[in-house]
Amino acid sequence: MPKLRIAVVFGGRSGEHEVSLVSASSVMDRLNPEKYEIIPIGITKEGRWIAGPDCMKLLKSGHAPLESNTLVAPEPAGIMRGEGGGGKIDVVFPVLHGPCGEDGTVQGLLELASVPYVGCGVLGSAVCMDKVMQKKVLSAEGFAQAAYAWFWASEWESRKRGILDEFSLAYPLFVKPANMGSSVGVSKAHNSEECIAAVAEALRYDRKIIVEQGIANAREIEVAVLGNQEPRASVPGEIISSNEFYDYDAKYVDGASRAIIPAELSKEKTAEIMESAVRAYKALDCEGMARVDFLLAEDGTAYVNEVNTIPGFTAISMYPKLWEASGLSYEDLLDELIRLALARAEEKQRLAVSYKPKSEWYAG
pLDDT tens track for 231-244: 999 999 999 876 66
Q: Please, what is the angle between helix 122-129 and helix 131-140, to 10°?
A: 100
Residue 158 has pLDDT above 90, yes or no: no
Among the residue ranges 30-39, 61-70, 208-217, the one predicted with the least confidence is 61-70
Specify the pLDDT at position 13.
87
Residue 59 has pLDDT above 80, yes or no: yes
Among the residue ranges 142-146, 221-225, 256-260, the one predicted with the least confidence is 256-260
Specify the pLDDT at position 99.
87
Please list, residue by residue across 121-154, b when 16 or more beta carbons sit within 10 angstroms of its beta carbon and e when fewer do.
bbebbbbbbbbbbbbebbeeeebebbebbbbeee
- Per the model's pLDDT, the better-predicted residue between 280 and 80 turns out to be 280
Specify the pLDDT at position 83.
44
Please compute the mean of the pLDDT values over residues 202-230 and round it to a whole number.
94
**Taking the chain, what is the end-to-end CA distance rounded to the nearest angstrom?**
43
Specify the pLDDT at position 87.
66
Specify the pLDDT at position 183.
74
Residue 256 has pLDDT above 80, yes or no: no
Region of residue 311 (phi > 0: left; psi between -120 and 50: alpha; otherwise: beta):
beta
Q: How confident is the model at residue 71 (pLDDT cuts 50, 70, 90)?
A: low
% of the chain beyond a pLDDT of 90: 63
Among the residue ranges 84-93, 201-210, 350-359, the one predicted with the least confidence is 84-93
Residue 352 has pLDDT above 70, yes or no: yes
Residues 163-175: pLDDT tens digits? 888 888 889 999 9
Please compute the mean of the pLDDT values over residues 104-129 and round it to a whole number.
94
Residue 246 has pLDDT above 90, yes or no: no
| CA angle (336 as vertex; 333, 340 as ends), nearest 5 | 140
Q: Give the mean pLDDT of the chain.
A: 88
Residue 252 has pLDDT above 60, yes or no: no
Range list of H helices, the chain: 17-30, 55-61, 105-112, 122-129, 131-140, 153-158, 160-166, 192-202, 248, 267-283, 318-325, 330-349
Residue 357 has pLDDT above 90, yes or no: no
% of the chain beyond a pLDDT of 70: 88
Q: Rounded CA gap, 176 and 307, in Å?
A: 15
Specify the pLDDT at position 84.
47
SS3 111: helix
Residue 82 has pLDDT above 80, yes or no: no
Q: How confident is the model at residue 95 (pLDDT cuts 50, 70, 90)?
A: very high
Where does residue 67 rank: exposed (0-12), middle (13-18), buried (19+ CB within 10 A)?
A: exposed
Specify the pLDDT at position 150.
93
Domains of the chain plus CATH, in order, are 4-117 (3.40.50.20), 147-213 (3.30.1490.20), 219-348 (3.30.470.20)
Q: How confident is the model at residue 250 (pLDDT cuts 50, 70, 90)?
A: low
21 contact partners, CB below 8 Å, separation of at least 6: 10, 11, 56, 59, 60
Residues 275-329: pLDDT tens digits? 999 999 999 999 999 999 999 999 999 999 999 999 989 878 899 999 999 999 9
Residue 85 has pLDDT above 60, yes or no: no
Residue 161 has pLDDT above 80, yes or no: no
